[in-house]
Chains A and B, each alone.
Chain A
Amino acid sequence: MQLPLGIEVPIPTFEQFVFIQVALLTAVAALAVVISRNLFHSALALTLTFFGVAGVYIFLEAEFLAVSQVLVYVGAIAMLIAFAIMLTRSMMFGRTSPLNNQWGKSSLFAFLFFSALLAFARATPWPAASEEIIADEALIGQLGREFVTTYVIAFEVLGLLLLVALVGAVMLARDR
């Protein structure tokens, strides 16, 4: 495909076209999270971002992760954030700028960091094609087996950490 100014753009396949849509949705929602003045709008955009990331997992043929993403992030974390916003609502609507006085430096740093990552991602010769996989129950079963064999210690430690974190959260947030 030939754009004006002589820029050559390869025509995307259908899969790539759909990926571009999902990626754009995710990216715009992520941008809205950080630039929205209303904190509740940020939380809604964050939920949209989580959905977009779940879509990206579908593209990567990691179905189990996509479902976990929706379950944990959209179902639990977005809900927690919404509750926290409503419990602390007095300060955040409109009064002053939502940004602190280092926002200029932060945006510059984030932009430079993004440019560097982009340059690396484009310059590195990644393998063009990936191996075919059949993502079905067998793969999820294998993931489960890995969790009780190879990664059993990490898995148990994560379980313990979640228990401690949730009990700790109740302790911290309790009304004394």
Chain B
Amino acid sequence: MVPLSWYLMLAAFLFSCGLYGALARRNAIAMLMGIELMLNAANINLVAFWRHGVGPMEDLTGQAFAVLIIGLAAAEAAVGLALIIAVYRERRTIDVDELDVLAG
């Protein structure tokens, strides 16, 4: 039996990696990859708590939410990458440091 805290530690590591990637990378696609990592970490936590919670056979809330998050991540990736391609076509760059038209 794998203890719950091991899953939480793995998820914490994935989340921190994703956080760093989303904050520190200049490429917009790399930022998006960081966000995907964070979503995956959240999903691991949800499923781990479902498995170690009370009555996992009767109450499938954790799994249901994880499925919804997977769907949401697919939508987010599609729109995000479409935006990146549109921006690239317009500006010939996807470096988020150079995309500062809205900066005051």
Contact = CB atoms under 8 A, between A and B. Distances in A.
Nearest to A36: B30
Interface string B24-43: 11110110111011001001
Chain A interface residue bracket vs B: 35 or more
Interface residues of B, number: 75
Main SS at interface, chain A: helix
B59 to A, nearest CB: 9
Contact of A143 (B43, B60, B76, B88): B60
A76 B77 CA distance: 9
Given A23-B6, A98-B26, A146-B64, A53 B16 contact: no
A105 to B, nearest CB: 8
Contact of A87 (B16, B56, B85): B85
Main SS at interface, chain B: helix
B89 to A, nearest CB: 7
A27 B9 CA distance: 10
A11 B55 CA distance: 29
B86 to A, nearest CB: 5
A5 interface: no
Contacts of A166: 75, 78
Pairs of residues from A and B, 4 with the lowest C-beta to C-beta distance, nearest first: A117-B12, A165-B75, A114-B16, A34-B21
Interface of A: 13, 15-16, 19, 23, 26-27, 30-31, 33-34, 39, 42-43, 46, 49-50, 53, 56-57, 59-62, 64-65, 68-69, 72-73, 76-77, 80-81, 83-85, 87-88, 90-92, 97-103, 106-107, 109-111, 113-114, 117-118, 121-122, 124, 126-131, 133-134, 139, 142-143, 146-147, 150-151, 154-155, 158, 161-162, 165-166, 168-173, 175
